[in-house]
């Protein structure tokens, strides 16, 4: 089912699936029973999550379509850490370090997606197994589509996720709600009275997703060079048929077209990462001119809503981005965690070896200034496990004096998709919490169980048949 077994590109989605199948077979679930593209895929992923499991899911039979679907690709920290060859706890630090090592791309002549070419009146996006994920969604959505385009002014390209609503056989509604580079590229093209040539790429390696979500980098650097840094080698790209735009050579499917100038149409609602239906949109429109794909292409869908498939990569990239910013002035910061349960965006936990009072406040301000989406920051001492919500809440409960350790920043810029933000100017009141012990004086002593004692207890329990 994975195809081309003897020649799988390690930078491709197939390369990732092969790695999982070989090294982590329990983390790949094949569904052979036909599934309905309306709601079944979403329900399957959420039921797996409720049982504490986050495997990659390969749906071999989708009713009404000949193409298999892979989903839940980026829902598992263990697998994402394996992509970088590091321990799970080291994932934010490894991401932070590697995404700063920009590696020039390699342009190749042959691309996996050039085996089938569909153009003109034959273009029909309805033939792709695009799922309808929630009953509130305005239509089926391409959720794993990465849009690539080039800045009309500088000529530097970018790539990133943007939701894509199926509106017709060659028409997609687009929201550029992050209002970052792609939004600006389209604005500049529109100022010149031109549409923005763009390519939608479907089915790439999880490291592509991680690298595409880096926001703090020099304007002359390509996102593809950041992705190469994560791979530790040049990212292989190939030119497609619109404006010679370059996209990953190992992708499953690409859709060539343009984001129209001067055209706005209703887009949404869509089940967003907040766990709510989102009606907010920039209401842009993409028109497809050509589809290219592998001969045995797999469709890739990201399960939307609050699934880990939708949120986990953004957790890790935000952890790395914030860690980058903090380490510049606070080398005593140990780690950063953005929990999936806080929508992968809105809350950040920071661990530091505090040397003086005031440092937690510095960390909070730097975090809020780095990440637009983050609105609550909790700083704890390095004896607290920031990957354990119980431990963080214990620190808040026992080390915070509200009148001196909690402060507010009213009128701060927030995410357009944050349902608490002002609908006119998208601002909120942000909050910092200093949950560290006071510096320079004795504080209550924490009860601890040594690693040796824990290991002995585990061995006793395992001998008694208790699975841990």
Residue 156 has pLDDT above 60, yes or no: yes
* Cα–Cα–Cα angle for 151, 280, 129, rounded to 5 degrees: 75
Smallest CA-to-CA distance from 382 within 358, 360, 397 is with 360
Question: Which of 159-163, 211-215, 337-341 is predicted least confidently?
Answer: 211-215
Of 139, 143, 137, nearest to 313 by C-alpha is 143
pTM, entire model = 0.86
What are the pLDDT digits (tens) for 403-413?
999 999 999 98
Query: 78 versus 179: which is more confidently predicted?
Result: 78
The two tokens of residue 99 are 């995404």
Q: Is the pLDDT of residue 390 over 70?
A: yes
CA dihedral 42→47→48→52, nearest 10 degrees, is 130
CA atoms within 13 A on the CB side of 355: 5
Work out the end-to-end distance of the chain between its first and last CA atoms, rounded to an integer number of angstroms.
Answer: 34
Give the count of beta carbons closer than 10 Å to the beta carbon of residue 210: 26
Look at 392 and 344; give whichever has higher pLDDT.
Answer: 392
Is residue 396 within 8 A of residue 432, CB to CB? The reply is no
Model confidence at 378: pLDDT above 90: yes
Domains annotated for the chain, with CATH where assigned, are 95-303 (2.30.110.10), 330-435 (3.40.1670.10)
Distance CA 42, CA 62 (A): 13
Contact of 166 with 125, CB cutoff 8 Å: yes
Q: Which uninterrupted H or E stretch holds 163?
A: none
For the chain, the farthest-separated pair of C-alpha atoms sits apart, in whole angstroms, at 76
Q: DSSP 3-state helix, strand, coil percentages of the chain (rounded to 5)?
A: 30, 25, 45
pLDDT at 3: 45
Backbone angles phi, psi at 380, to 5 degrees: -130, 165
What phi and psi values does residue 352 have, to the nearest 5 degrees? -145, 155
Span 75-96, average pLDDT: 92
Q: What is the pLDDT of residues 407-462, one digit of tens each?
A: 999 999 888 888 888 888 889 999 999 999 998 778 888 888 889 988 899 898 89
In whole numbers, what is the pLDDT of the chain averaged over residues? 92
Q: Cβ atoms within 10 A of the Cβ of 110, count?
A: 9
């Amino acid at each position: 089912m994975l195809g081309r077994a003897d020649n799988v590109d390690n930078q491709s989605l197939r390369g990732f699936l092969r790695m999982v199948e070989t090294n982590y077979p329990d983390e790949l679930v094949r569904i052979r029973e036909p599934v309905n593209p309306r709601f079944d895929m979403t329900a399957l992923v959420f039921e797996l999550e409720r049982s504490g499991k986050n495997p990659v899911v390969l749906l071999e039979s989708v009713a009404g379509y000949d193409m298999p679907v892979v989903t839940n690709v980026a829902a598992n920290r263990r697998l994402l850490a394996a992509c970088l060859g590091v321990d799970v706890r080291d994932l934010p630090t490894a991401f932070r370090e590697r995404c700063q090592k920009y590696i020039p791309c390699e342009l190749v002549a042959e691309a996996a997606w050039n085996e089938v070419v569909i153009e003109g009146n034959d273009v029909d996006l309805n033939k792709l197994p695009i799922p309808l994920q929630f009953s509130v969604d305005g239509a089926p959505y391409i959720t794993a589509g990465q849009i690539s385009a080039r800045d009309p002014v500088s000529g530097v390209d970018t790539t990133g996720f943007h939701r894509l609503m199926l509106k017709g056989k060659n028409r997609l509604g687009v929201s550029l709600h992050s209002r970052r580079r792609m939004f600006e590229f389209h604005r500049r093209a529109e100022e010149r009275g031109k549409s923005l040539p763009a390519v939608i790429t479907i089915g790439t390696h999880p490291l592509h997703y991680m690298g595409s979500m880096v926001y703090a980098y020099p304007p002359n650097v390509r996102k593809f060079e950041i992705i190469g840094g994560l791979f530790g080698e040049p990212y292989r790209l190939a030119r497609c048929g619109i404006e010679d735009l370059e996209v990953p050579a190992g992708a499953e499917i690409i859709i060539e077209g343009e984001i129209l100038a001067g055209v706005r149409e209703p887009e949404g609602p869509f089940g967003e990462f907040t766990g709510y239906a989102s009606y907010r949109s920039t209401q842009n429109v993409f028109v497809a001119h050509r589809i290219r794909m592998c001969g045995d292409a797999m469709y890739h869908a990201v399960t939307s809503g609050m699934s880990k498939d939708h949120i986990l990569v953004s957790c890790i990239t935000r952890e790395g981005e914030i860690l980058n910013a903090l380490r510049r002035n606070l080398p005593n910061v140990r780690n950063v965690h953005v929990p999936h349960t806080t929508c992968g965006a809105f809350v950040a936990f920071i661990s530091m070896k505090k040397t003086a009072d005031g440092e937690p406040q510095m960390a909070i301000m730097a975090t809020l200034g780095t990440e637009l989406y983050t609105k609550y920051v909790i700083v704890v001492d390095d004896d607290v496990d920031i990957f354990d919500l119980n431990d963080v809440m214990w620190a808040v409960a026992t080390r915070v004096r509200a009148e001196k350790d909690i402060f507010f920043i009213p009128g701060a810029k927030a995410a357009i998709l944050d349902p608490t933000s002002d609908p006119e100017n998208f601002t909120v009141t942000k909050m910092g919490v200093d949950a560290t012990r006071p510096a320079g004086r004795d504080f209550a002593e924490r009860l601890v169980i040594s690693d040796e004692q824990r290991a002995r207890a585990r061995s006793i329990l395992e001998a008694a048949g208790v699975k841990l």
